[in-house]
Chains A and B, each alone.
Chain A
């Protein structure tokens, strides 16, 4: 077995026991990237020299006995919308093709402090808008299980890299499913943490009230390990929650006896492939054998969620992306006739189609005369959806649904039909709207061997129960299945 194939928690042990070095491990991961990334297109940027240098430092830290974190020496891939000082952070957009941040995101500061090794920046849909990574200005990432299919999105690079061993673990961001859906399509584990549990400082904002950074791994333990490192209150982020964040990794027991699992009928009907629904229910039955109890529930406002989500997300995006105006950094159009012309050309040429579509949608719903009809109504729906979850969690401990309505679709299949693409988020957006934690774990495979994902949703800040159930499921279902490339 090659080093890049091990899980992070195993590698962490091996590093601590000095059986391997971080330099060897990092080299193994980067070699793997050299080997397969020409086919997968997960990375936008790697810097072997820089990564090996930080691996060397990690080795010294471990040797000195001062490494406090389990992540010391572990290679981590970073989605390219997370700011890295001195390293290009493009958000996969022409607009930021040459943008190098002068500061680190809080999560990067935390990883650096832990002695983790950053392997590079991972591909994504431009500004995290999309469900297939086809909206990257630079390249389309391929699904490691079938290179003609999408890896999901927007964190498609992170999911694909972890899946095929180009990264041991990775960070993504999730605004409406952007961690969970690609995790599902690439057969890995992805956690969207509770809103407020991971600092957003340094995450290039798409929709501020919905965005959350979260971890990818090939197993639940690895996801817990990475989440342990990045969670916590940050005074740089006013929306970050000041509370205690006990270790999730240490809390994984696999004991689910007596746990009540809500099964909302709305997530298993129209729009969701029967095979996916069946795979999820089979896993729930397995969990019942281990002492959990499935309870049918209803979340009737789910049908409004997609509309509410796209209104709120686009409204915030239209404002968040207004700063890309050609004045201070990033792309500026040439041959402009005055200020307004410069703005118009820069933004017309610098943004891709999907980004422009959402900026226009968002601008529209915030316009005077439409604000009440769209934005205000969407915010009311948000409250209602959150309330339904809250009520449901009075009787159940977790809610289980499919993550994605189908397995990975073909590259190009949904590009010309944005609404079809938006429906890929149908099972995931409610979680962001309600600010809840949810994990996606592999739960079955199609006849062609493509992974299905199961989503486990929990109460606010109850990542512990969510991950523990995921862990129990993983034990019962069997671990990660490696794609053949």
Chain B
């Protein structure tokens, strides 16, 4: 898709915090939101004389992601120091990986909104430690530092510049997030900063070589990424259209103002003076371990989406909506296992009523709803035994109480009437009382039919099968 005649090229660097129990180089707890400077020790504070020791779980988690993104795994790799001064970085260097990342040369197939599949190259995934956080307040002069986040393990996932425009970038980011959740290596809470990204954007006319790229930092949400890419593309196009040239630089995205601001040009680029971390040994992962980790991968979200649409006839959009939340997907699959024969109808319920209470913060397991009952309920609807309205009433009960569906139907008299004789009697009465609507319908006002069916339903106290009812009415008025 072109923007004002230009192709917009996007590459992304995603930083995801891993949800290991402890930090990457010490035994401090890895958790968010605790009292400032309580999850710290001499090691993550970088006190003189302390040494890092690698948490092997971090390597395992990163390899899992590498497998999920079809990467080759560098079984032998090293860690390097990235040197720069900043008050939130207590050692004044970050332990990261420079020339030999743990995983590289992968790809990710992303399902776009129109259902098409786009393959995005993954250049590398490496492990590194997070820095602390500066705190500013009017209540004191200067800045304070919270070191709790120092040493929280991160993976950085670097894509190839394979995305064209913000929509593809968004789909890529959502897929990455979904995978992180499915393989359960990150909490993926954007508001807690557990996923952050740097965005590279360039523009060029189709058929011409890639333009000069700008890197945007401080992109803290997916919607900010979309806004940032759109802004940056427009900015670059404007420069080119007015005869200027784009300067390679690092820019900072200001989401509140909706603009990117220059931080530094290529000439002032920081020299991080990477060199091998002498305090840590070479990472050597046994081949069996790499294989073992691959075998532990669950079915990944994209595969699920494809399966839901091919096996159950769901639209890719609906399938993606279910798969996006592992809990919904798990429940959906349990219902299928419990024998649900109407997966599309089931999907509507999962995305409708179930999503409704989940959005309010209630988990399925906090309710009395079971896959067996949901499956039974959907079955009753699809068999025409109860109406959708009745099903809604039953649903509200079985979410709150552990009750038998049949007994609820009996108690509330919810079974649907499909008996034609009974329905014909109702129809006769309604048609007699609504002669105007009948003539309206015959005069071409087709929506009068809906009104008549509605009146019949009302007269049946909702028990009539609306499909059968409609047929009867049409037969009687000869439409």
**A binding-site residues for B, Cβ under 8 Å:** 81-83, 89, 91, 96, 99, 101-103, 105, 200-205, 207-209, 235-239, 315-316, 318-319, 322-325, 327-329, 339, 343, 363, 366-368, 371, 375
Contacts and interface: CB of A to CB of B under 8 A. Distances in A.
Given A315-B275, A322-B93, A323-B91, A366 B49 contact: no
A95 to B, nearest CB: 10
Contacts of B91: 322-323
Interface in B67-117: 81, 83, 85, 87, 90-93
Nearest to B143: A339
A239 B279 contact: yes
A238 B281 contact: yes
Contacts of B42: 101-103
**A89, A102, A238, A367 interface centre (most CB from chain B within 10 Å):** A238
Nearest to A315: B275
B250 to A, nearest CB: 16
Contact of B83 (A204, A319, A324): A319
Contact of A363 (B48, B273, B278): B273
B92 A238 contact: no
The 4 closest A-B pairs by CB, nearest first: A322-B92, A366-B273, A208-B278, A209-B278
Contacts of B85: 322, 325, 343
10 contacts: A101-B47, A102-B47, A200-B49, A203-B49, A204-B48, A236-B51, A237-B51, A238-B51, A238-B279, A322-B93
* Secondary structure call for the B interface: loop
Contact of A238 (B45, B48, B52, B145): B52
B92 A368 contact: no
A316 B277 CA distance: 9
Interface string B266-289: 000001011100111100000000
Interface in B9-50: 42, 45-50
Contact of A323 (B92, B271, B273): B92
Nearest to A326: B87
Contacts of A327: 87, 90, 145
Given A83-B49, A201-B49, A238-B54, A208 B279 contact: yes
Given A319-B275, A368-B273, 20 more contacts: A91-B48, A101-B48, A103-B47, A103-B50, A201-B50, A201-B51, A202-B50, A204-B48, A207-B278, A237-B51, A238-B54, A238-B281, A319-B83, A319-B93, A322-B83, A323-B48, A323-B90, A324-B48, A325-B87, A366-B275
B273 A200 contact: no
B51 A325 contact: no
Contacts of A105: 49
Interface size class of B (residues with CB under 8 A): 20 to 34
A388 to B, nearest CB: 22
Contacts of A91: 48
A209 B53 CA distance: 15
A239 B85 CA distance: 26
B161 to A, nearest CB: 23
Contacts of B145: 327
Contacts of A329: 47
B459 to A, nearest CB: 78
Nearest to B275: A366
A364 to B, nearest CB: 10
A163 B458 CA distance: 108
B275 A323 contact: no
Interface string B119-148: 000000000000000000000000001000
Nearest to B42: A103
**B42, B51, B81, B90 interface centre (most CB from chain A within 10 Å):** B51
Contacts of A99: 48
A137 to B, nearest CB: 15
B26 to A, nearest CB: 10
Contacts of B281: 238-239
B140 to A, nearest CB: 16
Contacts of A82: 49
Contacts of B274: 366
Contact of A367 (B48, B53, B90, B273): B273
B87 A339 contact: yes
Contacts of A325: 85, 87, 92
B43 to A, nearest CB: 8
Given A367-B271, A368-B271, A319 B81 contact: yes
A83 B81 contact: no
A82 B49 CA distance: 8
Contacts of B49: 81-83, 89, 101, 105, 200-205
A329 B48 CA distance: 10
A205 B54 CA distance: 18
A239 B93 CA distance: 19
Contacts of A322: 83, 85, 91-93
A328 B48 contact: no
A363 B278 CA distance: 16
Contacts of A238: 51-54, 279-281
Given A322-B85, A371-B275, A375-B275, A236 B53 contact: yes
Interface string B49-62: 11111100000000
A324 B49 CA distance: 12
A181 B127 CA distance: 41
A339 B143 CA distance: 10
A447 to B, nearest CB: 43
A47 to B, nearest CB: 20
A368 B273 CA distance: 7
Contacts of A81: 49
B358 to A, nearest CB: 44
Contacts of A203: 49
Nearest to B81: A319
